[in-house]
Chains A and B, each alone.
Chain A
């Protein structure tokens, strides 16, 4: 295995040299370019400092932290039920998915398990969050590459998913719906029929996006073979989710661990792609959106009857212990390492968010690419600022 730290050091030296270098043939000098923090290409306040030699990036460094809210410190002064409000705001496009691993960690420490109906509804809402999140990615991808139409389609159809989430939880962006031992409420009347229609619609949306974008020659030229991340680099940097599977690593936390969620009760596939380039990452996400609609459909068919709340004490004290639970969130592996001292609130919560690791590979992957590819690689890596900075 290559010693990546060594290569990082070398690239830094090369960047220093590029700044001082004078290209005799073309009469160019190295220059440093700031992309962001307020820049359309970074969707959010991510600042990227790139050193250029002509059109080529010699060295790149993302500068995160413009949206650091200190959630790990804030969790230490809150009770367990209050924390779902905070963690909702980490990945704000798929908020419900943030709550689930934290609640599961607390339930693991308390040794309680949610009733089967709750597990089903949690999984349904989890996958709806994924669709709401990734459908925006598919639309946004077009905008990053100069095509404006897909984003209108994405916002149009994402609206139906948000309406569904709102009809269950009352919140479009921050549901705050998951509780230790169950859920706040049951599904509303008519949800199943409506949800099935929306899932059909979303499948049509995926076909539309595939026709519009993925077959497009310009789209392929901008993404294929660009920003290749080999599997060993992806694993060393801890890339997760579609970014990891697009590098050919067959790993999905929905399948590869035992969790009290309903994924083992449905028939679904894990999609991988061997290329590891920007196109592969987009393609895997498209397939995952399709797969998510199928998971939701099957879960709606097999929804068991029963209570939605396990028996939990009204004042929740979590026994002393440590627990790690991570789930396959829209952006990748999202996990919470919860340390409890038997108090009302946790002693320490380490939040492992997907985008933090996914973006830490940027200095590696941007070396040697051309400036327009910076945009497409960042878009295909797909990050949410709140998920980097927490």
Chain B
């Protein structure tokens, strides 16, 4: 594509602030998604004056991306990543290594827009003219976590999917090149999964928790300056 060089005189635009999105606009987005995806739109959450979360089935992940890009107008790709909802078996890495580890809950509790599986991929796309974004989530199966790649929909998803693949071990079908970005190619394990220990915290007790001490003569937690 050849773009002609512009004159200096036309290269400034000063625009007034555009209207900010209302919740009615976001409700319209949910309606569009429901029309296009049908039963594959599993759940949604609309926080008033804040944001919109939708959850689609893993099979409709790529289709949801296309609908968001072409029908909803969210053509700006913000990010793509994943969440591992398993509570960390190591807590915050503050256990005394000389003591047996404490009992911890293993109950998996998903966040906004619900979920059924341990891991979810989520992404955010933005409509730059109407100034709203949508966070879209999808459950990935526990045994062989994989969804279809978004690279054909949003080209920028390429690196984000590579990062998610090495950090969470989630596959992206149809991705051209799922090499590691950060880790050596033979690295074993997926560092951002909750059951991957942070070794620096495992080998030495962490003193960080001691920094909140009650002040003398002050019994309440409610402080404030």
Contact = CB atoms under 8 A, between A and B. Distances in A.
Q: Tell me, yes or no, whether A binds B.
A: yes
Interface string B14-49: 110110100000000000000000000000000001
Interface in A322-344: 322, 324, 326, 333, 335, 337, 339, 341, 344
B191 A70 contact: yes
A250 B78 contact: no
A310 B5 CA distance: 51
Contacts of B77: 235-238, 357
Interface string A247-266: 00111000111100000100
Interface string A67-80: 01010111011110
B5 A339 contact: no
Nearest to B19: A256
Given A235-B77, A275-B6, A76 B1 contact: no
A389 interface: yes
Interface string B98-115: 000000000001011000
Contact of A238 (B1, B6, B76, B223): B76
A326 B17 CA distance: 18
Contacts of A321: 111-112
A78 B208 contact: yes
Majority SS at the chain B contact face: loop
Contact of B155 (A8, A74, A270, A348): A8
A324 B123 CA distance: 11
Contacts of A68: 181-183
Nearest to A360: B159
Nearest to A280: B11
Nearest to B193: A73
A73 B195 CA distance: 12
Nearest to B159: A360
A315 interface: yes
Interface string B123-136: 01000100101010
A54 interface: no
A137 interface: no
B115 to A, nearest CB: 12
B53 A225 contact: no
Contacts of A389: 182
Contacts of B156: 236-238, 357, 360-361
A364 interface: yes
A315 B152 CA distance: 46
Contacts of B78: 238, 326, 333, 335, 352
B92 A9 contact: no
Interface centre among A335, A337, A341, A389 (most CB of B within 10 A): A337
Interface in A4-53: 4-6, 8-9, 12
A313 B20 contact: no
Given A4-B155, A389-B182, A235 B221 contact: no
A272 interface: yes
Interface in A287-311: 287, 307, 309-311
Instruction: Give the residue among A256, A271, A337 with the most B Cβ atoms within 10 A.
Output: A256
A360 B198 contact: no
A230 interface: yes
B5 A256 contact: no
Contact of B13 (A272, A280, A356, A360): A272
A314 B181 contact: no
A313 to B, nearest CB: 5
A219 interface: no
A372 interface: no
Contact of B182 (A65, A224, A276, A339): A65
Contact of B3 (A65, A236, A276, A335): A276
A284 to B, nearest CB: 9
Given A257-B20, A360-B156, A348 B75 contact: no
B13 to A, nearest CB: 5
B150 to A, nearest CB: 9
A326 B167 CA distance: 23
Which of A5, A64, A182, A236 is most buried by chain B, counting CB atoms within 10 A of its CB?
A5
B91 to A, nearest CB: 8
Nearest to B224: A311
Nearest to B177: A12
Contacts of B2: 228
A170 interface: no
Contacts of A250: 13, 15
Nearest to B79: A352
A74 B196 CA distance: 12
Given A5-B176, A324-B135, A228 B191 contact: no
A167 interface: no
Contacts of B180: 65
A46 B155 CA distance: 21
A238 B79 contact: yes
Given A232-B75, A257-B20, 9 more contacts: A236-B155, A251-B76, A256-B131, A287-B12, A312-B223, A314-B212, A314-B221, A337-B122, A360-B159
The 4 closest A-B pairs by CB, nearest first: A314-B223, A4-B155, A237-B156, A68-B182
9 contacts: A5-B176, A68-B181, A73-B198, A76-B92, A272-B12, A311-B222, A313-B223, A335-B78, A350-B83
